[in-house]
Amino acid sequence: MPPLQVASVTAMNETPSGWYADPTARHEQRYFDGTTWTDHVSSNGVQSTDAMQRSLSDSIDRALTVDSAPNPDRIRAQVAKSDQRSGAAGAGWTGPGGLFGEPVLVVNQKAKLIEVNSQYAVFDQHGQQIAAVNQVGQSAVKKALRVLTSLDQFMTHRLDITDATGQLVLRLTRPGKVFKSTVVVSDPSDREVGRIVQENMFGKIRFGFIVDGQRIGSINAQNWRAWDFAIHDETETEIARVTKTWEGLAKTMFTTADNYVLRVHRPDLPQPLLSLVVASALSIDTALKQDSRGLG
C-alpha cells in the first residue's frame, strides 16, 4: 500500500489513485486505485480493510454493536482495576511497543446485543489501539446457528489478529471439538507457531503450550469461573497473568462483551513462547470457551 495521503474528490473517473473521503461514511478515508474503490480504509491514521459492499449478516452484526469507539480513560481504569485484583505494582519494564513489545495489553470485546462475529480491540495501557482481532470464515449457516442455537461452540473458529497498520500478524484456529479445545497458532503465512491445548475438563482449567510436541509453558485458570489466569513457562515460573475486568452491569446483562488485561512480567520472553502468551490472551473468550460464560 502507498503512504497515506489526502486529496479532494472531483469526478472519480478523472481522479488519480489515492486516499479520499470514504463514500460509505463508515471510515474517514478509503483508497481509490484510479478505477474503483478498494477495501483499504483509514480512520484516525490507522489503516485497515473493510469491504465496500457488505453482506446482510455483516450489516446486521455491526448494527447490533452497542459501542465500538475506544475510550482511553476507560482503558486506563481497566488496567488500574486489574492491578488491584492481581496485586501488580506497575509494568516494571518498557518495550518497543506493538503487540509483542508492550508489558500490558488490554483486550476489549465489542459489545453487541447479539453476537454473530467475535471482534476485539487490543490497546496498550495508555489507551492506544495497537491491534484488532476479528473472527473470519463464518458462513451464513454458522452465523444463523450462533444466533439461534449453541451448536457453533462445537464448530471450527478462526481469528485473525492484525496490527495497527492492518497487517496480519497471527492467525488462531480452534478446530471443531466435543470436549477439550485446541487452538492452533499460525504466522501470517499459515505456518504453525505452536498450539494451546486444553489438558483437563474438571476443576481449574489448564492449557499447555505445545511446540513441536514439547510443552514449553501453560495457562492456568485461577478459579472455577476461569476469569483469571496465571501463565507459566516450562519451569512453572509465572511469566504473565490475564485478569478479567468487569464490563459493568448493563453490558454483563444485555451484551456479550468480555474484557481482559494481559500483564507480561518480563521483556525477554523468547519466541515462540511470547506469541503463545499473546495468543492465549487474545483467544480466551472466543477460541478457548465452550460457551458464552464459562470455560470447560
Q: What is the pLDDT of residue 69?
A: 55
Between CA 223 and CA 219, with CA 260 as vertex, the angle to 5 degrees is 50
105 shares a domain with 182: yes
The answer to whether 218 and 242 are in contact (CB under 8 A) is: no
Measured between alpha carbons, how far is 66 from 81 in angstroms, rounded to an integer?
23
- CA 50 → CA 17, 28, 139, 189, distances in Å? 18, 12, 18, 21
**How confident is the model over 43-64, as pLDDT tens digits?**
877 888 888 766 555 554 555 4
Does residue 292 fall inside a structural domain?
no
Measured between alpha carbons, how far is 230 from 243 in angstroms, rounded to an integer?
9
**How confident is the model over 153-171, as pLDDT tens digits?**
667 888 899 988 888 999 9
37 shares a domain with 180: no
Those residues of the chain that have pLDDT short of 70 are: 1-15, 25, 53-70, 86-91, 111-117, 138-154, 178, 224-226, 246-258, 285-296
The answer to whether 224 and 270 are in contact (CB under 8 A) is: no
The answer to whether 70 and 129 are in contact (CB under 8 A) is: yes
Residue 204 burial (10 A CB sphere; 0-12, 13-18, 19+): middle
What domain count does the chain have? 2
DSSP structural state of residue 231: E
- All three cell numbers of 221: 485458570
Q: What is the pLDDT of residue 211?
A: 98
What contacts 279, CB < 8 A, 6 or more positions away?
Answer: 161, 170, 172, 183, 185, 193, 196
Measured between alpha carbons, how far is 104 from 166 in angstroms, rounded to an integer?
21
CATH code for the domain of 203? 3.20.90
Q: What is the pLDDT of residue 201?
A: 81
125 shares a domain with 72: yes
**Cis omega (within 30 of 0) on the bond before 272?**
yes
Q: Which domain holds residue 42?
A: 12-49
Q: What is the pLDDT of residue 169?
A: 94
Does residue 288 fall inside a structural domain?
no
262 shares a domain with 206: yes
If we measure between CA atoms, which residue out of 176, 162, 147, 152 comes closest to residue 256? 147
90 shares a domain with 121: yes
Q: What is the pLDDT of residue 293?
A: 37
* Sheet hosting strand 18-21, strand order edge to edge: 18-21, 29-32, 37-43, 46-49
The answer to whether 71 and 238 are in contact (CB under 8 A) is: no
